[in-house]
Amino acid sequence: MSTTTINKSIFLAASRDTVWAYLTDKDKLGEWFHPAAASLEEGKPFALMGDVKDPESKMCWGDVLSADKPSSLSYTFTIKPLGTAMTTVTWTLEEAVGGTKLTLVHEGIAEASGDAALGLILALDGGWDKHFAKLRELVAA
């Protein structure tokens, strides 16, 4: 794993099934991340939108590589600044006392972004922190 891989883990006061739903269900994704055009399913493309009614408002997109409910989810991931270059996001859900340990590994950023790597890593790292805070708030409610 390179030093430009983003690794984050959080503990959530919710079951793995509940956390899984927030990672894959199109409506729940919109509550903490971005609205999805459809629920995430293995082997299918996905798009997270600024506005689900406007197909031009894609915020991020890729293909779901694997979905092992409720243990792990992996997909290719890109955003507009990367053009057609792809990174990989992998989620691991582990049982923890009273809830779930959720781990994110976001890799391939430097390879996809070249000279712009540091700025993009900083933006993605901060973005994941904000999204995690919102997810923690939602599942605790």
Tens of pLDDT, residues 123-133: 899 999 999 99
Q: Report, as an integer, the average pLDDT of 95-111.
A: 94
Alpha carbons 25 and 88: distance in angstroms, whole number: 19
* pLDDT exceeds cutoff 80 at 92: yes
Question: Which domains are assigned to the chain?
Answer: 6-140 (3.30.530.20)
27 contact partners, CB below 8 Å, separation of at least 6: 35
Predicted local distance difference test score (pLDDT) of residue 102: 98
The amino acid at residue 98 is: G
What are the backbone angles phi and psi of residue 34, rounded to the nearest 5°?
Answer: -140, 150
> How buried is residue 100: exposed, middle or buried, by Cβ count under 10 Å (0-12/13-18/19+)?
buried
The amino acid at residue 62 is: G
